[in-house]
């Protein structure tokens, strides 16, 4: 296989690939040819964001041809969804960036009893861009999805009943540590929910537990809402990769 070290990664939509040909969009063309100064015959890695990637070669400034499919193994092996009550300001940007690097498969933002925020379409598209560039940078095969839900009940209903390992991070309680739960989990995917600055309300904790979420602790200190998901995701990645 070719030496892929340091090679630029570019996420492409399925509509951009036809057989062994890739049509680049304006942004990709600009980035590869103007910013990186690649030209005809230069190679890059194209990824579809859903698990497939290919070694590709620029044929002209608007297109590329696929040389070979790549087999890479940089994913965690189970899907990890982070359900995050949106923090104020741009706090979620960093959560998406760091947790994508750590291996998260998808993000679900939750409007909670203690947050009023409903993100704009502009923010959603920014988070998707952040997820894409973080996935490219950390050599992922998938680009995590970002979904928006208005409240915790809706978020709990999003097919999550099929996920065997669901954890609700609750500070100041007596819940077992997330690490302990992870070490004793069932085979299959994982969902972790973290609350807003003011914490989950009692009602939300009840709804979560009724929908099969197990309360967990992230330690004796109270973490800020922008740190809790990153810490939780770090524990998941470390647990899965040391096994
Ligand atoms: N203001 C709240 C804390 C909110 S922290 C209070 O004083 O209790 C924001 C979120 O991070 C919480 O809802 C929880 O999901 C998570 N979190 C922070 N520290 C945690 C801990 N030690 N254990 C479990 N969850 C924690």
**Backbone phi, then psi, for 61, in 5-degree steps?**
-65, -20
For the Cβ of 28 lying below 6 angstroms from any atom of ligand 1, the answer is: no
Number of compact structural domains in the chain: 2
For the Cβ of 44 lying below 6 angstroms from any atom of ligand 1, the answer is: no
- Sheet of 17-18, strands arranged across: 9-11, 43-47, 53-60, 63-70, 21-23, 17-18
User: Containing domain of residue 194, as a range?
Assistant: 80-241
Kindly state whether residues 23 and 102 are assigned to the same domain.
Answer: no
pTM of the model as a whole: 0.89
Kindly state whether residues 55 and 86 are assigned to the same domain.
Answer: no
Would 133 be classed as within a structural domain?
yes
E strands present in 63-220? 63-70, 80-85, 106-110, 145-149, 165-169, 190-194, 214-216
The residue to mutate among 197, 222, 234, having the most atoms of ligand 1 within 8 angstroms of its beta carbon, is 222
For the Cβ of 53 lying below 6 angstroms from any atom of ligand 1, the answer is: no
Q: Which two tokens stand for residue 111?
A: 């409007």
Per-residue pLDDT tens digits of the chain, which is 243 residues long: 567 778 999 999 999 999 999 999 999 999 999 999 999 999 999 999 988 999 999 998 789 999 999 988 899 999 999 999 998 889 999 999 999 999 999 999 998 777 766 788 999 999 999 999 999 999 999 999 999 988 888 888 776 678 999 999 999 889 999 999 999 999 999 999 999 999 999 999 999 999 999 999 999 999 999 999 999 999 999 999 997
Q: How far does residue 169's CA lie from ligand 1's centre (Å)?
A: 7
Residues 6+ apart with CB under 8 A from 75: 51, 103, 140, 141, 142
Residue pair 223/171 in contact (Cβ under 8 Å)? The answer is yes
């Amino acid at each position: 296989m070719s030496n892929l070290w340091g090679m630029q990664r570019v996420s492409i939509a399925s509509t951009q690939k036809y057989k062994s040909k890739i049509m680049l969009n304006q942004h990709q063309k600009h980035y590869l040819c103007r910013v990186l100064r690649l030209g005809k015959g230069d190679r890059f890695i194209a990824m579809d964001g859903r698990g497939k990637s290919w070694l590709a070669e620029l044929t002209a400034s608007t297109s590329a041809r696929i040389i070979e499919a790549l087999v890479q193994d940089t994913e965690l092996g189970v899907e990890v969804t982070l359900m995050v009550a949106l923090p104020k300001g741009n706090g979620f940007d960093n959560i998406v960036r760091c947790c994508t690097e750590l291996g998260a498969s998808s993000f679900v933002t939750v409007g909670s009893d203690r947050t009023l925020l409903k993100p704009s379409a502009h923010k959603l598209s920014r988070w998707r861009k952040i997820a894409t560039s973080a996935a490219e940078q950390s050599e992922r095969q998938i680009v995590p999805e970002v979904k928006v839900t208005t409240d915790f009940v809706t978020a709990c209903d999003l097919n999550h009943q099929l996920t065997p390992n669901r954890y609700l991070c609750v500070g100041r309680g007596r819940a077992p540590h997330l690490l302990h739960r992870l070490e004793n989990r069932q085979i299959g995917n994982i969902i972790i929910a973290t609350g807003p600055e003011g914490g989950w309300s009692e009602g939300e904790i009840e709804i979560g537990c009724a929908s099969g979420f197990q309360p967990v602790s992230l330690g004796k200190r109270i973490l800020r809402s922008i740190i809790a998901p990153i810490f939780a995701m770090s524990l998941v990645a470390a647990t899965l990769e040391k096994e």
